[in-house]
Structure 1
Amino acid sequence: MINRLEFAKQRLFKGLPLTALTALVIALVSISLSAILIRFAESEMAPQAIAFNRFWITTVILGLWNGLWSIFSQSWANPSSHPTPSFVWILAALLALGVLITMDLVLWSWALTQTSVANATLLANFTPLFTTLGAWLIWGKRFDRYFLIGMVIAMGGAIAVGLTDWQIAADKLQGDGIALLAALSFSIYLLILEKLQTWLTVTTVVFWSSAIASVLTLPIVLITKQPLFPRTWQGWLIVLSLALVCQLLGQGFLTYSLKQVSSEFVALFLLLDPILAAIGAGILFSEHLSLVNWLAFAVVLVGVYLTTLSESITQAPLPLTNH
């Protein structure tokens, strides 16, 4: 029995480096706070306007921090043993990141108006499945039984919460499809991010994805004639917190973690996000957490732990040639 425990510990630390785990925990906590902050901000602005402010503030902060010149010149590159792809590929990948994160946000907001919150949340939990299928089909990655079994258990725990409120209705099918597209968008975002961070620094990736997302969300806010900026200093404090905590820390550490673990594991780890957000909402807004919520949290943790025993989560990204 002792030998088995020692073997499990060795597999744990071999499969999941401590630095990657730390980065993921910081990213998870930071990202989970976005739901709470957005809830506060919605008293002044629509979700699209909140996102726009979150993105442009992040862009300005990183632009001032690094200096635009350094972003374009020496500090944009991340030392890598892999062949560096062409500038066109990097530019296209950065553009794709901005488009995909905007699509995820817009589609998610749209889905919430077309279907129930329970349906949208449940379908969003399919992100790990989409990411894993994408890595298998596009990058040709293979996964061992620890990862596959852990993924099934973790997704099962996350989906079980939403099944109690799941609604099947013809008039909600469009919203359900939109929610699935949002999950697919974020899955592709993670797959591209996993490759891109191999050649670019974390700040460069976050800067350009935020800048592109700012440009894309601005017309949406203007077309819908929503208030563009907060009206009070409390509103400004909230969107500044979203930029600093959720975007800079959250997306920054999420990108950093992909240097050591795969996008599939990151997607799986983020299944803890809605549960952690629910716990935070329960503390701040006195929202009731049922026994099912706590059991689901435990099941997801078990599933995530099993995947840490897999060597698949630290497979190095496939190198791209400069063609």
Structure 2
Amino acid sequence: MSHLGKPLSPARAWLGPLLLLLGGTCIGLAPIGLRWGLDSLGPQAIAFWRYMFAIPALFLLLIFIERRMPARINGYVIAAGTFFALDIALWHWGLTLTTVANATFIVNLGNVCVGFAAWLFLKERPKPIWFVAVLIAVTGAAALSLGGESGGKTDIRGDLLALGAAFLVSGYMLCSKIARNRLGAMDVIFWLTVTEAIVAAFIVAASGERFFPATLAGFAAPAFLALVAQVGGQGLIIAGLGRTPAAIAGIIVLIQPVVAAAISWQLFDEPLSAIQGGGAGLILFGIWLSQGAARERRQKLASKPSQKTAKDPA
């Protein structure tokens, strides 16, 4: 499944970052679906049904696309799924107490930290340009989060919950990266979702929330999240992780708060100030700049065969 160490065509080299960008955009819609569903279900129940509705869709996709049953689950997938379910539990709770932009920014700090974790555990040392891209993207994310008008809907309790979720994001991304190096993308996202549904069921029971909405219409928001955020968003991110260094992937998915804040501006009366608009621009610039490290890596991989030939003409 892996193509590590092999020269990549330009199209294939850009596939990983493109998948991550599309996945991050889909995940950016997740808080929108959550806000819509809170009138019918609690935040933890919404997360549970997000996973449950996604499982049959992912199973059918695997059967029709791969034409086989799912491969055997491994410990890294279980760990990643547990981290993600706990992350979403804290994040959903935090979203009920603070703004979409605030909660999404804080959680995504974990995506940046995964670059340092990958450096420590996977020996994926980031290029110098990556540190510059991180500084720019995080500065932009901070401006996007903190640059709004005072007296908004922020609450320190929601921010602290989102901070806890950020630590869990790092564990999820790191374990998913390792799992993706051992299993195909479809297998990883399927077993991740199964694990997340099991963990989420215990969380709903512990929280005291009801499992079922009063009417069938209450399932609309979880169904939206299942297709857009879980199958589309998380699936694309898992696929992209198999083709992109974890450090660069963490910056690319910072597109999430930009998407979330832009849509929330229109739907939830959370307008963006000039500072927040500038912050969104910095995030996008940081994402673009991070691709400099990716381009350098791809050029080195592409040059290896020719260097070997030059040294060994015989």
Category of TM-score, reference length = shorter chain: 0.7 to 0.9
Cα distance, 1:284 vs structure 2: 3.4
2:59: which partner in 1?
63
Report if the CA contact (8 A) 1:15-1:310 is conserved. Answer: no
Structure 2 residue 13 is the aligned partner of structure 1 residue 17:
yes
Matched residue SS, 1:17: helix
Cα distance, 1:226 vs structure 2: 1.7
Q: Deviations over 1:145-203 (max 9, x none)?
A: 21111111111111123344799xxxx88765543331111111111111211221222
* Inter-partner Cα distance in structure 1 for 2:144 and 2:190: 35
Structure 2 residue 29 is the aligned partner of structure 1 residue 33:
yes
2:272: which partner in 1?
289
2:284 to 291, 294, 301: 301
Report if the CA contact (8 A) 1:54-1:242 is conserved. Answer: yes
* Inter-partner Cα distance in structure 2 for 1:55 and 1:39: 17
Q: Which amino acid aligns with 2:122?
A: W
**Could you list the runs of 5+ residues in structure 2 that have no partner in the other structure?**
1-8, 302-314
Q: Which amino acid aligns with 2:236?
A: F
Cα distance, 1:117 vs structure 2: 7.0
Structure 2 residue 273 is the aligned partner of structure 1 residue 277:
no
Q: Which amino acid aligns with 2:25?
A: V
Q: Stretches of 4+ moved more than 6 A in 1? A: 13-16, 113-119, 172-175, 312-316
1:194 to 177, 180, 196: 177
* Inter-partner Cα distance in structure 2 for 1:35 and 1:250: 13
Q: Percent identity?
A: 28
CA 1:256–1:297: 2 relative to 1, 3 Å? same
CA 1:263–1:229: 2 relative to 1, 3 Å? farther
* Inter-partner Cα distance in structure 2 for 1:290 and 1:267: 26
Report if the CA contact (8 A) 2:46-2:221 is conserved. Answer: no
CA 1:219–1:131: 2 relative to 1, 3 Å? same
Q: What TM-score do you get using the length of structure 1 for normalisation?
A: 0.77
2:308: which partner in 1?
none
2:136 to 150, 153, 157: 153
CA 1:130–1:22: 2 relative to 1, 3 Å? closer
Cα distance, 1:225 vs structure 2: 2.9
2:123 to 114, 126, 140: 140
CA 1:135–1:15: 2 relative to 1, 3 Å? farther
Cα distance, 1:288 vs structure 2: 1.8
* Inter-partner Cα distance in structure 1 for 2:52 and 2:130: 37
Matched residue SS, 2:167: helix
2:310: which partner in 1?
none
2:208 to 213, 225, 250: 225
Report if the CA contact (8 A) 2:17-2:244 is conserved. Answer: no
1:4: which partner in 2?
none
* Inter-partner Cα distance in structure 1 for 2:275 and 2:194: 40
Q: Deviations over 1:122-165 (max 9, x none)?
A: 53242244212211211222122211111111111111233447
**Could you list the runs of 5+ residues in structure 1 that have no partner in the other structure?**
1-12, 78-86, 317-323
1:131 to 106, 109, 114: 114
Report if the CA contact (8 A) 1:76-1:201 is conserved. Answer: no
Report if the CA contact (8 A) 1:75-1:201 is conserved. Answer: no
Report if the CA contact (8 A) 1:262-1:313 is conserved. Answer: no
2:82: which partner in 1?
99
1:207: which partner in 2?
190
Aligned length: 286
1:253 to 229, 236, 241: 236
Q: What TM-score do you get using the length of structure 2 for normalisation?
A: 0.79
